[in-house]
């Protein structure tokens, strides 16, 4: 059972490392594997104990690639495992059980936008991959176009396209909330302008180590 994030070194330093530290603080058990993939890592970068790392070099990676690489890594490195993929700008706020994690990751579970008319109803900030072909169809959907042709939100486009092929379970507030802290949520994530607003960042700061 795995949690997976991926980002470049700058985003890792600012956000990702706090997700890894908080996840391991509240969930140190050996049944949970935490995997971090870093694009263009710095030499001797800080690593979190009991986290598995993979890295790659990519000259001037476009933002669209950095948004999507986690789904390519999942298909390649974790082809059959139960996996939860999170945005790196997320923090863990509490413990969860192996049974709870196993239940939510056994199916495709996705964060749903709170706005009814959102361009992308389904969001890549929280995605569990189930046990079937979904992760490979996702990777293949991303790679249908050459990377140079990817546009901003390419990962969201592919995810929402796959909602026509797969039945998505909606991620509940017990697992993740956006912006405002929910005491029942395992994860808190910040989106867009949330990351510039002390109203939201102050809540996030409470869980940094």
Report residue 195's pLDDT band, with 50, 70 and 90 as the boundaries.
Answer: low
pLDDT attached to residue 209: 74
**Matching residue, tokens 């956006």:** 178
* pLDDT > 90? residue 78: yes
DSSP 148-162: GG--TTHHHHHHHHH
Report residue 140's pLDDT band, with 50, 70 and 90 as the boundaries.
Answer: very high
pLDDT attached to residue 180: 67
pLDDT attached to residue 200: 67
pLDDT attached to residue 194: 67
CB 208 within 8 A of CB 188: no
CB 3 within 8 A of CB 91: no
Query: Average pLDDT of the chain?
Result: 91
DSSP H or E run through 187 = strand 187-189
- pLDDT 10s digits, 3-38: 999 999 999 999 999 999 999 999 999 999 999 999
Separation in Å, CA 77 to CA 12, 71, 109, 189, 195: 20, 10, 20, 25, 30
* pLDDT > 80? residue 179: no
pLDDT attached to residue 111: 93
- Phi, psi for 13 (deg, rounded to 5): -65, -40
Residue 47 contacts by C-beta under 8 Å, 6 or more apart in sequence?
53
Closest residue by Cα to residue 121 from 150, 160, 88: 160
pLDDT attached to residue 67: 95
Question: Measured between alpha carbons, how far is 177 from 203 in angstroms, rounded to an integer?
Answer: 12
Q: Which domains are seen in the chain, by residue range? A: 59-205 (3.90.550.10)
**Matching residue, tokens 């994860």:** 187
Q: Which two tokens stand for residue 14?
A: 């600012």
CB 101 within 8 A of CB 3: no
Q: Which two tokens stand for residue 59?
A: 């000259």
pTM: 0.93
pLDDT attached to residue 23: 97
């Amino acid at each position: 059972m795995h949690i997976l994030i991926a980002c470049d070194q700058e985003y890792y330093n600012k956000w990702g490392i706090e997700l890894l530290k908080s996840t391991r603080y509240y969930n140190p058990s050996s049944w949970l594997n935490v995997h971090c993939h870093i694009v263009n890592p710095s030499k001797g970068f800080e690593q979190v104990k009991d986290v598995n790392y993979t890295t790659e070099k990519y000259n001037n990676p476009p933002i669209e690639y950095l948004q999507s690489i986690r789904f390519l890594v999942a298909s390649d490195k974790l082809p059959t495992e139960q996996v939860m993929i999170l945005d790196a700008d997320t923090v863990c706020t509490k413990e969860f059980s192996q049974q709870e994690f196993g239940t939510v990751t056994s199916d495709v579970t996705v964060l749903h936008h709170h706005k009814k008319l959102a361009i992308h109803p389904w969001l890549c900030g929280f995605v569990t991959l189930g046990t079937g072909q979904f992760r490979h169809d996702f990777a293949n959907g991303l790679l249908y176009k050459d990377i140079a042709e990817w546009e901003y939100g390419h990962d969201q486009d592919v995810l929402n396209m796959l909602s026509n092929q797969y039945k998505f379970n909606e991620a509940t507030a017990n697992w993740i909330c956006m912006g405002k802290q929910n005491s029942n949520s395992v994860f808190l994530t910040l989106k867009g302008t949330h990351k510039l607003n002390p109203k939201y960042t102050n809540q996030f700061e409470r869980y940094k180590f």
